[in-house]
């Protein structure tokens, strides 16, 4: 079955360390997105990519970086510059017809 895989489901990191969240899709979707969700809140856009080797900042890109070297993969790096990285991170992809979301990664920085 096609879908989006985010790994790991839970991630713990020490303050000051960079961490990379994985997002892989086998849907042949061109566009991919990263969203952040804080407790009891909606989703905010971090970065998005429409095609390979191209990506754009979203509303809250500071302290994050991405790459899109392959169509299937859109990893998100949470850097030490992100002041409050503890959150739930959702990856999504899109082709005509709609969006598909991953199951998310819960990142806790201690």
Site of interaction with another protein (CB under 8 A): 31, 33, 35, 40-45, 48, 50, 56, 58, 88, 90, 92, 94, 98-99, 101, 103-104
Comparison of 16 and 40: residue with beta carbon closer to another protein = 40
Taking the complex as a whole, how short is the minimal distance between the CB of residue 14 and another protein, in angstroms?
A: 24
Could you say which DSSP state residue 53 is in? T
Residue closer to another protein, measured from CB, 21 or 90: 90
The residues near 24 (Cβ < 8 Å, ≥ 6 apart) are 4, 5, 72, 73
For another protein, give the closer residue by CB, 33 or 78: 33
Give min distance, CB of 72 to another protein, in A.
19
In 76-103, which positions are buried (b, 16+ CB within 10 angstroms) versus exposed (e)?
Answer: bebeeebeebbbebbbbbbeeeeebebe
Count of CA atoms in the C-beta half-sphere (13 A) of 93: 24
Q: Smallest distance, Å, CB 44 to another protein? A: 7
């Amino acid at each position: 079955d096609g879908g989006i895989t985010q790994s790991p489901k839970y991630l713990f990191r020490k303050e000051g360390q960079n961490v990379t969240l994985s997002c892989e899709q086998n849907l042949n979707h061109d566009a991919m997105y990263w969203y952040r969700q804080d407790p009891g809140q909606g989703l905010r856009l971090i970065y998005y990519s429409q095609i390979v080797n191209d990506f754009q900042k979203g509303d809250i890109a500071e302290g994050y970086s991405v790459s899109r070297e392959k169509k299937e993969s859109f990893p998100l790096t949470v850097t030490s510059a992100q002041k409050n990285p503890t959150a739930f991170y959702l990856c999504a992809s899109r082709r005509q017809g709609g969006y598909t979301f991953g199951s998310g990664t819960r990142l806790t920085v201690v």
